[in-house]
Amino acid sequence: MIEYWAGSTRDEVRAAVTGHADYAEKGKDIVCAGASMMIGALGAAALEAGELIEDRAEDGRELVRARRTGRTECYLKMFMDGMKALSNSYPDHVRAGRGETAGAQVVTCRQEVTG
C-alpha cells in the first residue's frame, strides 16, 4: 500500500509518499509509477522555483520540503489533487496516510502561475 500525506506550516510545505503499491511486478507497476511521478514533479518544481529545502528518498519513502510561497502552495495542491485521483482509481493500493504532516491544513493555491 502506498500512503501519502501533505501539509504546510507557516514557513514551509511538505509532502511524502511511502510504501509500495503491489499492483504489478516491479518495473511494470503503473500505480507506483504514478505516485513516484507526483512526488518527483513536486520536488522538481520546487527546485526550479528556487524554493526546495529537502528532497530525500530512502527505503521506499520520499519526502519533499519547500519554502512556503504562493507558487509552492499551488504545487502542493497539484500534488494532493493528483494523489487523490490516483487513490480514487486504485483504492486498494493508495491511501492518504498519517505521516508527520497528517492533520495539517493543505492551503489553497493563492497565486496564478504563469510562464
Q: What is the pLDDT of residues 65-81, one digit of tens each?
A: 999 999 999 999 999 99
Helix spans in 1-115 (H): 30-48, 70-89
User: Over the stretch 21-67, which tens digit does the pLDDT of each residue have?
Assistant: 999 998 899 999 999 999 999 999 999 999 999 999 998 899 999 99
Instruction: Please check the confidence at residue 113 and state whether its pLDDT lies above 90.
Output: no
Q: What is the pLDDT of residue 101?
A: 47
pLDDT band at 109 (very low <50, low <70, confident <90, very high): low
Q: What is the pLDDT of residue 100?
A: 53
Q: Is residue 7 in some structural domain?
A: yes
Q: Distance (Å, rounded) from C-alpha 115 to C-alpha 113?
A: 7
Which residues are CB-neighbours of 4 under 8 A, at least 6 positions away? 15, 16, 17, 18, 35, 38, 39, 83, 87, 94, 95, 96, 97
Q: Is residue 64 in some structural domain?
A: yes
Residue 15 β-bridge partners: 6, 64
Q: Is residue 22 in some structural domain?
A: yes
Domain that holds residue 28: 2-96
Q: Is residue 63 in some structural domain?
A: yes
Q: Is residue 102 in some structural domain?
A: no
Cell numbers 527505503 label which residue? 59
- The pTM assigned to this predicted structure is 0.85
Q: Is residue 8 in some structural domain?
A: yes
Q: Is residue 25 in some structural domain?
A: yes
Q: Is residue 91 in some structural domain?
A: yes
Structurally, how many domains does the chain consist of? Answer: 1
Q: What is the CATH number of the domain that holds 81?
A: 3.30.70.1490
